[in-house]
């Protein structure tokens, strides 16, 4: 549908294209867990406290909001962090987001 958010998920050598309605009130972590991406643990329940939902944002339209100080601080605890690293629990799937392509780190 035209109000759906297009989500491309890259994991290993596989890329899967999915869509989700923009009015479901989910964040990206919840959506990924519901679609059986076990690599996305969300141990803290989406409170930006554990980094177990770390993804790399490869493409996004429009641009995401800046990272909060809390998200930045938690990402800094990872052994490897990238310029495009984000916590998927902090990415809201709402009417502001049209498409996103993410990579789930190994």
Give the confidence band of 72 by pLDDT, cuts at 50, 70, 90: very high
Q: Residue 85 sits in a domain of what CATH number?
A: 3.10.20.30
Q: Looking at residue 1, what is its pLDDT?
A: 64
User: In a 3-state reduction of DSSP, which class is residue 92?
Assistant: strand
> Domain range spanning residue 38?
4-103
Residue pLDDT, tens place only, 27-41: 999 999 999 999 999
Q: What is the DSSP string of 45-76?
A: SSSSSS-TTEEEEEEEESPPPPPPHHHHHHHT
Q: Global pTM?
A: 0.94
- The mean predicted confidence, pLDDT, of the chain is 95
Domain count within the chain? 1
């Amino acid at each position: 549908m035209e109000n759906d958010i297009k989500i491309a998920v890259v994991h290993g050598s596989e890329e899967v294209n999915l869509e989700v309605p923009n009015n479901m009130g989910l964040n990206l972590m919840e959506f990924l867990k519901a679609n059986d991406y076990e690599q996305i643990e969300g141990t803290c329940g989406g409170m930006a406290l554990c980094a177990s939902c770390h993804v790399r944002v490869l493409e996004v339209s429009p641009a995401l909001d800046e990272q909060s100080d809390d998200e930045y601080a938690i990402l800094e605890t990872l052994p490897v962090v990238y310029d495009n690293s984000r916590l998927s629990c902090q990415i809201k799937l709402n009417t502001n987001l049209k498409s996103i392509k993410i990579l789930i780190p190994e």
